[in-house]
A and B are shown apart, each in its own frame.
Chain A
Amino acid sequence: MGENKSLNGGLWSRFAEFKRLSGKDKRRMVSDLIFNNAMFIIIAVAIVFIAVRVPEFLSLSSIVNIVSLTAARLPIALGVGGAIVLSGTDISAGRVVGLTACIAASLLQVTNYPKKMFPDLPTMPLIVVLLAVLAVGAVIGLINGFFVAKFKLHPFIVTLSTQLIVFGSVLMYLMIGNNNGQTLSGLDPSYTDFVRGTLFRIGGVAVPRYVLYSAILTVIMWFVWNKTTFGKNMFAVGSNEEAANVSGVNVFRTIVLVFVLAGVMYAITGFIEGGRIASCSANTGLNYEGDAIAACVIGGVSFVGGTGKIGGIVTGVFLLQLIFVGLNFLSVSANMLYIIKGLIILTACAIDMRKYLARK
């Protein structure tokens, strides 16, 4: 988003500069402008196209819906973004969301629910459950980070392993107590209200609370990435591990912390998802990492490492949800969703790499 602001501010002086350029330079500058803002252009075109066909697309309730869907998928993307900045990835993300959602749901079932997993458990305070879930996410992140940092294993391999381990744990967890592998449901109103209760109403449309939580997380993550030593170290390690090490960055600690932070983000996603869907099974969270990684890449967090913006991730998540909603409004077969998603990811990556190739 910062990019855009400076673009507007210096528009006049840029325009004057532009006039002075030769024809060839002019063309290059225009094409650069288009390529550097390709995602915003795609978003704008998509919105206009859909809104012309189906005007309700821009109604208040539709906008709130898109924002809510974006908010639900944002924390996991913010988490995985850090791993990508390190030129790695994290494919355990979706399963961690599933595990934490199931744990949160199991601890927060209403006391008189007939098939309550822990029948004698009283109503737990939300904060205790939230902290427990965060701890679970952090531990899995710690394991991921430790193996990546200590043994120099590629994060893909490490997180592939933890993905499987976590899935096995979810299946075992769901068999505990009275639950018998069933979908976890019958959640305490304190939990569902906390997550999807009404934050405020605009024009009679209720905005769910988790939108606020996602917004807060975005601000925190922006601060962590841009204003803290840890954030600067993360980018340093991501762009050149050797150089970062030589200049005194504790590479080991940085990598571990990035993954722990990611784990915490997945746990928050899980906690929100549990209350939002209100029924958690072993399938919860499946493939969420795919969308999260795609969103990061679309938003310019490069697999080359060392670059990425929080604003980009938000844009990426927003674009994916926009397509989902838009295609539904247009009554387009959902099969097209995959193809369009694939094309957008491919385009985004190609544009991204074009910058690096030009530099070389």
Chain B
Amino acid sequence: MKRFLCLLLAAALCLSFVACGKKNSKNNGEISVFYFTYSDAYISSVRTALDKALKNAGLKFNDYDANGNQSSQTEQIDVAISKGSQALVVNVVDTGSDDAALNIIDKARAANIPVIFFNRSVEESVVKSYDKCVFVGTDYEMAGHMQGQVIGDYLVKNFDTVDLNKDGKISYVMFKGQEGNMEAIARTRFAVEDADKILTEAGKPKLQFYDAANANKYLVDQDGLWSSAAANNYMGTILAKYSESNKNMVELVIANNDEMAMGAVSALQGAGYNKQGGKVIPVFGVDATPAAQTAIANGSMIGTIKQDAEGMAKVIASIVDNFRNDRKPFDGIEESTTVGGWRVNIPYSAYTKE
């Protein structure tokens, strides 16, 4: 009986493989799309939009989840190429060094298929090293700059309400999503720098990190997940030491993404802040997730920066189509968004209540 069951299972497995094989053997193979992780909210919206765009274009595609692991992704790329993939669309995991991306390009060059990197940054020299390689992203420094501007503008307008202890300075906390990620580094840096610039121009003092002993001037998600739980635990712990009655309350919360911002909001609400009609500690994020949009609408969050997931998906789909038809990669794409024939920048926009 047991043996029979085993046999049956094995047979079923074989059949399913055959079924898969059949699908891909014709029509020049699949478009292979590699995501750095399915668990990320923003990447999920890109995935849904891109699935739709590729399906509408009548293309066969397959999605892969690297689950945050570069070696898994590289292996998946090997598998896809051996399956006869006709284009690689890659949301590379490791952005800290060029090696991962270069390695992927080598594989694509050997198979003579195009590579479209998207979302997570790849250096210009790397992209340019292969003529069938482009990058679709955002100018990753932009998010930080725009966040800084939104924060600066908000503070200049509302300085006295935000400055709870009336010491003439705004003390802030910064939640960083991950160490060694270029986006996180840029957001952490420019959000504060640009806000400071605007404050200085308006004759106000610069932002002050709430904890003078912390030389980093940020708190980072140790698991590198940009997670709301990490921000929530930090914020709860901060609120235990810093409060209005101690005259050292944190007066501004800046987070690298909306999930972390929401985690901080939840902790603030636990301490009685950021509820409808109550006192609000301004919280800023990036991504404009539906959760953050709702929070901004009901006033528990002040602002975020919108990344256009659908716009990104549309551009990727048309680049894939261009490569398939031997056109120039950026044919038909809004010229002002392309940079030097190697990258497309999907613009960000500020998202606030107004």
Residues of A within 8 A of B (CB): 54, 56-57, 59, 61-62, 64-66, 68-69, 113-115, 171, 174-175, 180-186, 192, 196, 204, 206, 208, 273, 276-279, 281-284, 286-287, 324-325, 328-329, 331, 333-335, 337-338
Contact partner of B45 (CB less than 8 A), chosen from A113, A181, A331, is A181
Contact string against A for B residues 144-175, beta-carbon threshold 8 Å, 1 for contact and 0 otherwise: 00000000000000000000000000000000
Q: How far is the CA of A353 from the CA of B43 in the complex (A)?
A: 46
Known: A182-B44, A279-B266. A325 touches B240 (CB 8 A): yes
Q: How far is the CA of A337 from the CA of B241 in the complex (A)?
A: 19
Could you jot down 11 A-B contacts, CB within 8 Å? A180-B45, A181-B44, A183-B259, A183-B262, A186-B290, A196-B266, A278-B262, A329-B241, A334-B220, A334-B222, A338-B222
Contact partner of B237 (CB less than 8 A), chosen from A180, A273, A283, A325, is A325
Closest beta carbon of chain A to B249's beta carbon, Å = 12
Q: How far is the CA of A174 from the CA of B216 in the complex (A)?
A: 35
Q: How far is the CA of A335 from the CA of B263 in the complex (A)?
A: 21
Closest beta carbon of chain A to B162's beta carbon, Å = 22
- A288 to B, closest residue via Cβ: B229
CB distance B228 to A279 under 8 Å?
yes
List of A residues within 8 angstroms of B266 by Cβ: 196, 276-279
Residues of B within 8 A of A (CB): 38-41, 43-45, 47-48, 65, 211, 213-214, 216, 219-220, 222-223, 225, 227-229, 232-234, 236-241, 243, 245-246, 258-259, 262-263, 265-266, 269-272, 289-291, 293-295
CB distance B262 to A185 under 8 Å?
yes
CB distance B225 to A182 under 8 Å?
no
List of B residues within 8 angstroms of A181 by Cβ: 38, 41, 43-45, 47-48
CB distance A69 to B236 under 8 Å?
yes
Main secondary structure of the interface of B (DSSP, over half): helix
List of A residues within 8 angstroms of B225 by Cβ: 283, 286
- B261 to A, closest residue via Cβ: A279
Q: How far is the CA of A243 from the CA of B279 in the complex (A)?
A: 63
CB distance A174 to B44 under 8 Å?
yes
Closest beta carbon of chain A to B173's beta carbon, Å = 11
List of A residues within 8 angstroms of B293 by Cβ: 114
Contact partner of A337 (CB less than 8 A), chosen from B48, B222, B237, B240, is B222
Q: How far is the CA of A4 from the CA of B30 in the complex (A)?
A: 66
CB distance B259 to A279 under 8 Å?
yes
CB distance B39 to A69 under 8 Å?
no
Closest beta carbon of chain B to A93's beta carbon, Å = 15
CB distance A281 to B228 under 8 Å?
yes
